[in-house]
Chain A
């Protein structure tokens, strides 16, 4: 009796663990099926090379490049903010700041990642854009620049915290050896510690990129809904995620081609982040082995 109970509990636990696998499978299967349906009406070639995306207009064009360009543009701006800031903060906390300061700064910065993204969207639209418009008069009301900048601040803790963890994992002996050879702090930090922690740092950056690509509410609020094949950050653009929100909020009939286009957009988004996540997982495994 006891044995049966134990076995059935174990079976239940396995089932629960399997739900995560079913989730991944579900995502892949659903996106694939709907995208397959979509591609029966739209040519794959047009989809991946077209520079116009107008599914909600009278003349419908399905070229994903404008949405991809919008996504990459905001991501690029965000990383341009988060990478230098986050990395400098990580080095500072690891090499210069004393433990007490670090114990205060790290959680404070992590607040940035806890704030709901719709709040950042509001901040970008109603505060950052008007301020930037005073400096750059040609900046449009919705633009990639302020959305990207605010998103960059949001992902600072992704870079700084994870990179700092990676720096902390470097064996003390390396640092002591560097100091022993007469290096300054700066030399130790950038020529010894950072290269030693490089894979961990790269993992943090990849995760931050993946986060920025999938970010929805900041760009949906502040970057606009105009799919344009441009890399001009002063204009209103549209990202893949914003498009999905736009269709979900509108009254597009289900099972129509316009409706299916969110799955085609979704699989593009999923593909991008899936590749990045796998690279980072693979790198993490490799780098953990190195020092254990």
Chain B
């Protein structure tokens, strides 16, 4: 029994290490950066002087990237999931795609960057544009959306489908009007998690050539861009103390987005789990 309680306290200690590090990280970043955040920091363009630099272009770049990524990745991801769950009758092709998706989910994000650099930037000649960056991130978040949507579709009971088909609806009508609306909440959760992933992603965008210094806000999908994590990376790697403070302030803004998105996802998931009881 002694060993038993000894392990218990050791385990509580282990669990708290993770949480303590999390708390330390947040405390460290807030104590370094919180006082730096003001309206100017958000609306200023990047600058050589740390006290005048701001994150306006990075914020707009992020909005552009996230919006385009979701517009591209959602239809494709949901369509792929619908095919795998509703059409493919567990044939070899479906099995192959399944293995493939699980593999893609484990490919390091920087490899997607290399793919994007070759295919979108150089082959399709999109240059270091918002569009090239978004296409790259779309491929990256596609497995996230597909897996979430598949889980969502699986949760829809067969009786609904059978009732719809029995009333004379075609397979697509059943999917479009019965299955997808029934599991929309869960799909949305997956999409939000994909957005959260895209917001924090840095490495692939560096490889496709997102710039460090962009003195203007992107106006079209073909413009060059930077995003918040890249701005933070750049500030972190500079020697002057002022830029470290800027990096911490940028991180606070970035974390606000990430935590907000994740909380929405959790709330949606809980509400959905409560509401739907087939």
To the question of whether A and B form a pair in one complex, the answer is yes
Which of B10-18, B180-188, B214-222 is the interface stretch?
B10-18
Other-chain contact of B79, A13, A93, A210, A281 (Cβ < 8 Å): A13
A20-B114 in contact given A9-B172, A30-B119, A114-B196 (Cβ < 8 Å): no
- A-B residue pairs in contact (CB < 8 Å), sample of 21: A6-B172, A13-B79, A30-B118, A85-B14, A88-B10, A89-B18, A96-B8, A105-B15, A112-B22, A116-B254, A118-B229, A127-B24, A153-B18, A153-B21, A216-B202, A254-B122, A263-B114, A266-B110, A270-B107, A277-B103, A281-B103
Q: Which of B1-46 contact A (CB under 8 A)?
A: 1, 3-4, 7-8, 10-12, 14-15, 17-19, 21-22, 24-25, 28-29, 32
A19 contacts partner chain B, Cβ-Cβ < 8 Å: yes
Q: Which of A171-219 contact B (CB under 8 A)?
A: 184-186, 207, 210-211, 213-217
Residues of B within 8 A of A (CB): 1, 3-4, 7-8, 10-12, 14-15, 17-19, 21-22, 24-25, 28-29, 32, 75-77, 79-80, 82-84, 87-88, 96-97, 99-104, 106-115, 117-119, 122, 139, 142-143, 146, 170-172, 196, 199-203, 206-207, 209, 212, 229, 232-233, 236-237, 244, 247-248, 251, 254-255, 258-259, 262, 266
A20-B97 in contact given A119-B254, A126-B236 (Cβ < 8 Å): yes
A241 contacts partner chain B, Cβ-Cβ < 8 Å: yes
A111-B248 in contact given A17-B84, A184-B1, A273-B108 (Cβ < 8 Å): no
Extra contacts, 13 of them, besides A19-B76, A217-B203, A217-B233 (Cβ < 8 A), are A6-B170, A20-B143, A30-B118, A31-B111, A109-B15, A114-B196, A119-B251, A122-B29, A153-B18, A184-B3, A277-B102, A277-B103, A281-B102
- From A25, which residue of chain B is reached at the shortest CB distance? B100
Chain A interface: which size bin? Answer: 35 or more
